[in-house]
Amino acid sequence: MIDSPITKEPAQKAKIRMARKPSSDDRRVRISSSALTLEIAPTCGACLTRCELRIGSNRYDILRPAVESQIQARSPYGASCFPMIPYAGRLREGTFEFAGRSVRFPINAPGERHSYHGDGWMRPWNVLEASRGRVVLELPADATAPIHYHAIRSIEVEGTRWAVTLNIRNCETTPLPLGGGLHPYFPRRQGATLLAQLPLRWRLDSEQMPLGTEPNPQATALAHGLPVTMLPAGALYSGWDGTALISWPAEGIALSVRTRPAVEHAVVWVPDNEDFFCFEPVSHATNAVNLRREQIEGEDHQVIGPGEISQQEFIFTVSA
């Protein structure tokens, strides 16, 4: 276990505006700039359902448009992007032990025996603030949840840039392992490429659970830009510097990804016969809280003290 790269600060010092009464409105929230439009579905895990770039009379989807039937059914699997909290990726059988306490999350994917991405993406969020270029959403602590945390997520757009800031407060009286990330779906258009410094790759078992790290055989190619079609269908990387560039050369569009503080892990998912791919910045390795118990090196979950807040920012900038 190592110190988290995510900034911690006492709860009373966190600069989070919560003055307005939460909204019960079930409609989408839209924010926009001169070049970008984002839509958010608060009742469906506060997921993004649209991210569109405008250049003159042309329109480009920077994230895949949401699958409306799934959003209407409150399934974030159809989203453009959803948050992962209080953990990211798979959690073995939905359980972990921490400081003498056993915690169990529900199995939330049909036909699976592991739990996925925490519970924040499956719950409705309140809208605290909304303006043309910014929305602030809240996920209150749930007394019936496996662990008690309070989250604030702001999404802000300006010009060709949007930023997502996630704050997670430990609402319990003892330390908790808290973390997460974002799960964006990018359009798998012709020639899409990924450029990133990803020196380590995790060996995975048949259930995509980590067994240990090894040098990434595609590290050099990725550092120069690798077509998405040449990436593994599913992979987990470590040693990342927290920045990446996704390009669609046929359209002359690129998207830079930056995390602040820099997260060290990323998940790639390129399923066959789909029109999307995923590059997911995450604060910890898959199943990190269980790695020591499974005698696997690399445990790096974040321990957040009572009343403390973990803050992470994800910044996306489009260039054309």
CATH at 217: 2.70.98.10
Q: Reply yes or no on whether the pLDDT at 120 is more than 90.
A: yes
Q: Is residue 112 part of a domain?
A: yes
**Tokens coding 230:** 């040449």
179 close to 120: Cβ distance less than 8 angstroms: no
Beta bridge mates, 310: 8, 168
Q: Is residue 69 part of a domain?
A: yes
Tell me the mean pLDDT in the region 97-107.
Answer: 93
CA distance 113 to 91: 9
Q: Is residue 218 part of a domain?
A: yes
Domain count for the chain = 1
pLDDT of residue 26: 58
State the residue range of the domain holding 43: 7-319
**In the 8-state DSSP scheme, what is residue 64?**
P
Global pTM value: 0.90
Q: Is residue 96 part of a domain?
A: yes
- 238-247: pLDDT as tens digits: 999 999 999 9
Q: Is residue 1 part of a domain?
A: no
- 153-195: pLDDT as tens digits: 999 999 999 999 999 999 999 999 999 999 999 999 999 999 9
Q: Is residue 199 part of a domain?
A: yes
Cα 166 to Cα 4, 169, 259, distances in angstroms: 15, 10, 11
Instruction: Residue 88: name the closest of 120, 117, 122, 45 by CA.
Output: 117
Q: Is residue 2 part of a domain?
A: no
* Residue that is written with structure tokens 């830079």 in the block: 256
Q: Is residue 231 part of a domain?
A: yes
**Tokens coding 273:** 């016969």
Rg (CA), the chain: 19
Instruction: Residue 85: name the closest of 160, 9, 17, 182 by CA.
Output: 182
Kind and range of the H or E run holding 220: helix 219-224
- Beta-sheet strands, E only, within 77-231: 81-84, 90-91, 95-98, 101-104, 115-116, 126-130, 134-139, 149-158, 161-170, 176-177, 181-187, 193-196, 200-204, 210-215, 226-227
